[in-house]
């Protein structure tokens, strides 16, 4: 009898999926807190309508982070919605892992077509600026330099916001 041929089921990259889920949670909580405490981020998202839904997800059915604008700030909503006003999709879990770990910046990943955007590009630009500010709150400057085009200065006021986001924002969503 000859060799048998048949379908091969794809595997699952559990570790990278888990990392993406954790980073999405941290990022979601950080955004929630930053839209309360950081005036620059608050100002950026002020143009979004109430109920605006932003989703960052991994294609085809990977983890996702849903943010919804409620009472003037972004609220982390876990994986509540499938679709939104602005949907940023990583083409695969490897692309997401590179950006979320963080080895590659969002602008570079977008330029390399590792991500796609559905929705108004103007809103995507607003989100990119918010993300740049937020990364400054999450990572030390030497990492930020790799992720963003220009690292913003961190005056004392910003240092305090960074402290609040990291100490109470991410753990407690405040």
Interacting residues toward other proteins by CB under 8 A: 107-108, 110-114, 116-119, 121-122, 124-126, 128-129, 132, 148-150
State the nearest-atom distance from the C-beta of 59 to other proteins, in Å. Answer: 10
Q: What sign for the dihedral angle of Cα 94, 100, 104, 110?
A: positive
Q: Which is nearer to other proteins, 47 or 163 (CB)?
A: 47
Beta strands in the chain (DSSP E): 53-58, 64-70, 73-76, 86-90, 115-118
Q: Which is nearer to other proteins, 98 or 161 (CB)?
A: 98
Report the side by side order of strands in the sheet with 115-118. 73-76, 64-70, 53-58, 86-90, 115-118
What tokens appear for 174 in the block? 């405040």
Structure tokens at 18: 């888990």
CB of 152 to other proteins, least distance (A): 9
Provide the 3-class DSSP secondary structure of residue 36: helix
> Which of 108/166 has CB closer to other proteins?
108
């Amino acid at each position: 009898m000859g060799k048998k041929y048949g379908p091969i089921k794809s595997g699952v990259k559990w570790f990278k999926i888990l990392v993406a889920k954790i980073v999405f949670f941290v990022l979601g909580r950080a955004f929630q807190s930053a839209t309360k405490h950081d005036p620059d981020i608050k100002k950026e998202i002020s143009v979004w309508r109430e109920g605006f839904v932003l989703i960052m997800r991994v294609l085809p059915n990977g983890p996702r982070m849903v943010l919804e604008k409620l009472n003037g700030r972004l609220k982390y909503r876990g994986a509540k919605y499938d679709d939104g006003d602005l949907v940023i999709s990583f083409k695969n879990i490897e692309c997401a892992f590179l950006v979320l770990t963080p080895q590659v910046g969002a602008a570079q990943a977008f330029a390399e077509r590792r991500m796609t955007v559905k929705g108004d590009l103007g809103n995507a630009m607003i989100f990119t600026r918010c993300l740049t500010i937020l990364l400054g709150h999450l990572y030390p400057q030497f990492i930020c330099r790799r992720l963003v085009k220009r690292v913003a200065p961190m005056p004392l006021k910003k240092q305090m916001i960074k402290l609040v986001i990291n100490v109470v924002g991410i753990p407690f969503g405040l």
